[in-house]
Amino acid sequence: MESLPSDGRPEVLALRALKLGDLLVAVPALHALRRAYPRHRLIYAAQPWLAPALALVGGVDTLLATPGLDDPLTLSAGRVEVAVNLHGSGPESTRRLDELAPKQRIGHLGPGWDGPHWRDGLHERERWAELLQWHGIPADPLDYRLQPPKVRNPLPGAAVIHVGAAYGSRLWPQERFAAVACALESAGHVVAFTGSEGERPRALRVAALARLPRERVVAGTLGLDEFAAAIAGAKLVVSADTGAAHLASAYGRRSIVIFGPAPVSEWGPPPGPHIVLTKAELRRGDTFSAIPDPALLAVSAADVLAAARELGCL
């Protein structure tokens, strides 16, 4: 079944049916594909809620709603000219792209696919840029900036504390977030708490612990474009390794990123006003655990405040 009408142009489809941070580390690759195929329609296959963030990448024409890899992509075989696997190199993603019967495949080496061997330990921005380079497409892993948000910043000049994370392994303790919020507020910042709708109760608890009004909690009330605008205009962003941290990188905002299960060498921010805090030697590395990673728990509120002073925010 066709879910996306053709506009008459040849099509390049890039598959990456993952989350916000995954989109943001793939931005250099998407910019490179736009330059390499200027007359093609560039389609990004991913979770549909990412559409507002995808609009900030620039050059991507449309999103093909792809919640995951359980079902075939909703385009007819033979329609897509170039299929690009930015999702991974396993049989699930390659099978979904093979079903499209593209004229050209860009991906890692695998059955029916020519390309570089998958290498563990690469930074994600570098991985996808190197993949395209292997296939003859110039790509710069530092070409990660987003376009300015078109919506109004709902939190102008705020110090944004993003209290949530997709998995329990990345949840820094609430009382430590609250201690950081208190110190920033005392230093003259207006602190706001962001997160998803499901993370709103956690954000409200952090605000209560910090003795800040619940009106400062905007978790669950912002659209993704408004969230991007809030990060783009923030004086400081404090978060775990989440989409909020990647947005702060994309907009060059001062940020403190608390790492747990993920290696900094693979997911850390680019050069800029960003400080990473972790105890890598304690890292358990179980991303899907419900228990905070020891590398994250080893970071204290005092560590975060010292980083804020280093960034000139205290």
Give the start-to-end residue ranges of the domains of the chain.
Answer: 11-134, 159-310
CATH topology of domain 159-310: Rossmann fold (3.40.50)
> pLDDT, tens digit, for every residue of 279-297?
999 999 999 999 999 999 9
CB neighbours of residue 309 within 10 Å: 11
Torsion sign (Cα): 225, 65, 30, 131: positive
Under a CB-based contact definition with an 8 Å cutoff, are residues 261 and 285 in contact? Answer: yes
Which residue from 247, 203, 204 is spatially nearest to 224, judged by alpha carbons?
247
> pLDDT, tens digit, for every residue of 135-169?
999 999 999 999 999 999 999 999 999 999 999 99
Q: Note the pTM of the prediction, 2 decimals.
A: 0.96
Report pLDDT for 1. Answer: 62
Which residue from 221, 224, 218, 222 is spatially nearest to 149, judged by alpha carbons?
224
Average pLDDT over residues 17-46: 98
Under a CB-based contact definition with an 8 Å cutoff, are residues 13 and 45 in contact? Answer: yes
Judge whether 11-134 and 159-310 match in fold. Answer: yes
| CA dihedral angle for residue 288, residue 289, residue 294, residue 297, rounded to 10 degrees | 90
Residue 79 has pLDDT above 90, yes or no: yes
Q: What percent of the chain has pLDDT over 70?
A: 100
Phi, psi of 264 (to 5 degrees): -60, -35
Q: What percent of the chain has pLDDT over 90?
A: 99
The tokens describing 278, both together, are 């972790």
User: In this structure, which amino acid lies at residue 206?
Assistant: V
| Locus of tokens 């001062």 | 254
Which residues, in sequence order, are CB contacts of 150 under 8 Å at separation 6+?
A: 225
Q: Whole-angstrom Cα distance, residue 143 to residue 150? A: 20
CATH topology of domain 11-134: Rossmann fold (3.40.50)
Q: Whole-angstrom Cα distance, residue 93 to residue 104? A: 15
> pLDDT, tens digit, for every residue of 198-230?
999 999 999 999 999 999 999 999 999 999 999
Report pLDDT for 227. Answer: 98
Phi, psi of 292 (to 5 degrees): -55, 140
Local confidence band at 2 (pLDDT 50, 70, 90 cut-offs):
confident
Local confidence band at 194 (pLDDT 50, 70, 90 cut-offs):
very high
